[in-house]
Structure 1
Amino acid sequence: MPTTLTSADYQQAAQNMNTEVAVIKAVTEVESGGRGFLTDGRIVIRFEPHLFHRYTQSKFDASHPQLSFKNLKPGYPTGVVQSWQLYDEAKVLNLQAARMATSFGLFQILGSNWPDCGCKSLPEFITRMSKSEAEQLNLFCNFITNQGLNDELREHQWARFARIYNGKNFKLLNYDTKLSNAYKKFSA
């Protein structure tokens, strides 16, 4: 079973990013419920059918409408188990697109963001994400630094952070409000 984050891991990351532990814990809670792996050892994922649609140029919209469609549908997939089912089906059709359209780990970083995580390839990203929550945290720190999001986290600019991190539809899922509330909880 992959290892979980320790207090020292959080403290080191907060120091490296010049922010608070509560900020990092807030992101983990909102993005993954605070867990990087399922009890069976599989990584926590979220398969995004609207992104699979984009990466496959809508090739599978008609034949696999549960896997590929144009617009984000809040609440779909319904959770990690369904995401794994969809991901497993999608990777048979197009492995690269399935990986790119899936968010991984504690911080739910999209596979398409592998370069900003400091990885040399998408397979390296998947391998490192699957290793441990500490490795997921390292990749997150790289991503935040390479995306220039340190200030947004440090200054609690939740809406700006959520727009860049979660995309233009962040308000549909109230990411900014959830981040603010989680930060208040962990900083209390």
Structure 2
Amino acid sequence: MPTSLTLADYQQAAKNLRTEVAVIKAVTEVESGGQGFLPNGRVVIRFEPHLFHRYTQGQFDASHPQISFKNLRAGYPTGVLHSWQLYDEAKALNLQAARMATSFGLFQILGSNWPDCGCKSLSEFITRMSRSEAEQLNLFCNLITNWGLDDELREHQWARFARMYNGKDFKLMKYDIKLSNAYKKFSS
């Protein structure tokens, strides 16, 4: 079973991003509930049907409307297990698109972001995400640095961070509010 993050892991990430441990913990909690793996050892994921639609040009919208549709739907998938069911079905249709349309690990990093995480391939990204929460944290730090979002974290610009990190529909899921509240909890 992969190991959980330690305080030293959080401290190193905060040092790398020149921010506070509370900031890293807030993102961890909001993105994944603080868990990078399920009890059975599988990585925590979120399959995104609207992204699968985009990566397959809607090819499966009619035949598989539960895994491919045009617009984001709040509350769908209903959880990690549901995401795994949808992901397993989607990867049987198009492995590359399924991986690209799925967010992985503690920080729910989309597979499509593998180059910005410092990986040489999507397969390397998936392998590293499956190793440990510490590896997931390393990939997150690479992504934040490559996207130039460390300033937003340092300055607690939650809405700007959420828009860049979670996309234009971040308000639908209230990511900025959740990040602010989680930061307050961890910094007190």
**TM-score surpassing 0.5?**
yes
Whole-Å separation in 2 of the counterparts to 1:135 and 1:75 = 28
Residues 119-130 of structure 1 correspond to what in structure 2 (within 5 A)? 119-130=119-130
Q: CA deviation at 1:145?
A: 0.1
Matched, 1:152 2:152: yes
Q: CA deviation at 1:81?
A: 0.3
User: What does residue 99 of structure 2 align with?
Assistant: 99
Matched, 1:83 2:79: no
Runs of 5+ unmatched residues, structure 2:
none
Whole-Å separation in 2 of the counterparts to 1:109 and 1:128 = 12
**What number of residue pairs does the alignment pair up?**
188
Residues 1-188 of structure 1 correspond to what in structure 2 (within 5 A)? 1-188=1-188
Whole-Å separation in 2 of the counterparts to 1:73 and 1:26 = 24
Q: CA deviation at 1:54?
A: 0.1
Whole-Å separation in 1 of the counterparts to 2:148 and 2:15 = 16
Q: Which letter maps to 2:87?
A: Y
If the length of structure 2 is used for normalisation, what is the TM-score?
1.00
Runs of 5+ unmatched residues, structure 1:
none
Q: CA deviation at 1:56?
A: 0.2
Identity of aligned residues (%): 85
Match of 2:160, SS state, is helix
Whole-Å separation in 1 of the counterparts to 2:150 and 2:17 = 6
Q: CA deviation at 1:17?
A: 0.6
Match of 1:130, SS state, is helix
Deviations 1:77-109 (A, max 9, x none): 000000000000000000000000000000000
Q: Which letter maps to 1:15?
A: K
Match of 1:46, SS state, is strand
Q: Which letter maps to 2:13?
A: A
Deviations 1:107-155 (A, max 9, x none): 0000000000000000000000000000000000000000000000000
Q: Which letter maps to 2:154?
A: R
Q: Which letter maps to 1:35?
A: Q
Q: What stretches of structure 1 move > 3 A for 4+ residues in a row?
A: none
If the length of structure 1 is used for normalisation, what is the TM-score?
1.00
Q: Which letter maps to 2:141?
A: C
Q: Which letter maps to 1:87?
A: Y
